[in-house]
Structure 1
Amino acid sequence: MLCCPGAGWLRTLPTLRLRARGLQPGWSSPRLPAPLPVWAAASVSAAAAPAGWYEALAASAPVRAAEEVLLGSQAATGLPWWGSILLSTVALRGAVTLPLAAYQHYILAKVENLQPEIKDIAKRLNQEVAVCAHRFGWSKRVARLTYLKNMRRLVSELYVRDNCHPFKATVLVWVQLPMWIFISVALRNFSTGAAHSEAGVSVQEQLAAGGALWFPDLTAVDSTWILPVSVGVVNLLIVEIFALQKLGMSRFQMYITHFVRAMSVLMIPIAATVPSSLVLYWLCSSFMGLSQNLLLRSPGFRQLCRIPPTKSDSETPYKDLSAAFYAKFLSRK
Structure 2
Amino acid sequence: MLTVAGLVTGRVLQTRALHLLSRWASPALTCTTGSRVRTVSGVGGANGAGGWYGSLSDAAPVHLCENFLVGVHQVSGLPWWLSIAVATVSIRTCITLPLAAYQLIIISKVEALQAEISDLARRLRYEVSVRGRERGWTDNQSRVQFKKNLRRLVSQLYIRDNCHPFKASLLVWVQLPLWVSLSLALRNLSLDRPALQGELAAGGALWFSDLTVPDSTWILPVCLGLANLLIVEVFSLQRAGASGFQRLVLNGFRGFSVLMIPIAASVPSSMALYWFCSSLVGFSHNLLLRSPTVHRTLRLPTQRSDTPYRDLLSAFINKYWK
**TM bracket (short chain):** 0.7 to 0.9
C-alpha displacement of 1:239: 1.2
Partner residue in 2 for 1:324: 315
Q: Which runs of 5+ in 2 are unaligned?
A: 1-47
Q: CA–CA distance in 1 between the matches of 2:266 and 2:190?
A: 13
Q: CA–CA distance in 1 between the matches of 2:49 and 2:135?
A: 64
Evaluate the alpha carbon distance shift between residue 81 and residue 302 of structure 1 in structure 2; reply closer, same or farther with a 3 A threshold.
same
Q: CA–CA distance in 2 between the matches of 1:101 and 1:50?
A: 36
C-alpha displacement of 1:50: 9.1
Over 6 Å off, 4+ runs:
none
Output the TM-score relative to the length of structure 2.
0.83
Between structure 1 and structure 2, the one with the greater Rg is 1
Q: Which has the higher contact order (CA 8 A, sep 6+)?
A: 2
Q: Does 1:243 align with 2:236?
A: yes
Q: CA–CA distance in 2 between the matches of 1:151 and 1:249?
A: 26
Q: CA–CA distance in 1 between the matches of 2:240 and 2:98?
A: 26
Q: CA–CA distance in 1 between the matches of 2:53 and 2:239?
A: 37
1:126-141 equivalent positions in 2, closer than 5 A: 126-141=125-140
Partner residue in 2 for 1:291: 284
1:224-263 equivalent positions in 2, closer than 5 A: 224-263=217-256
Q: Does 1:76 align with 2:84?
A: no
Partner residue in 2 for 1:124: 123
Counterpart amino acid of residue 236 in structure 2 = A
Q: CA–CA distance in 1 between the matches of 2:251 and 2:179?
A: 22
Partner residue in 2 for 1:146: 145
C-alpha displacement of 1:255: 2.9
Partner residue in 2 for 1:102: 101
Output the TM-score relative to the length of structure 1.
0.80
CA RMSD of aligned residues (A): 1.4
Out of 206, 209, 213, the position equivalent to 2:199 is 206
Partner residue in 2 for 1:42: none
C-alpha displacement of 1:250: 3.5
Counterpart amino acid of residue 220 in structure 1 = V
Partner residue in 2 for 1:278: 271
Q: CA–CA distance in 2 between the matches of 1:105 and 1:145?
A: 33
Counterpart amino acid of residue 169 in structure 1 = A
Q: CA–CA distance in 2 between the matches of 1:61 and 1:94?
A: 22
SS in 1 for 2:92: helix
Percent identity between the two aligned chains: 56
Q: Which runs of 5+ in 1 are unaligned?
A: 1-48, 195-199
SS in 1 for 2:203: coil
